[in-house]
A = this chain, B = another copy of it.
C-alpha cells in the first residue's frame, strides 16, 4: 500500500515509465512513505469503452 490505479487512453512505454517514476516520487514525498511501498497499475482503455457526457469517446471528433 498505497495502490494507484490509472485508467487512461493508450500510452507509450516511455510515457508509462515516466508516469510511474514521477507519480511514485511525488506520492512518496507527500505521503511520507518509501517509494517501494507504492504500487501503480495502468489500465489502457479504448475510446470505444469510455463514455463522457453520455457519448462514447470514439464518437466524438477530438
Contact = CB atoms under 8 A, between A and B. Distances in A.
Interface of A: 1-9, 11, 13, 15-28, 30-31, 33, 35-36, 38-45, 48-59
B7 A2 contact: yes
A25 B54 contact: yes
A43 B49 CA distance: 7
Given A22-B26, A23-B26, A30-B22, A49 B5 contact: no
A41 B49 contact: yes
Contacts of A21: 51, 54-55
Contacts of A25: 54
Given A4-B4, A8-B1, A20-B56, A51 B30 contact: no
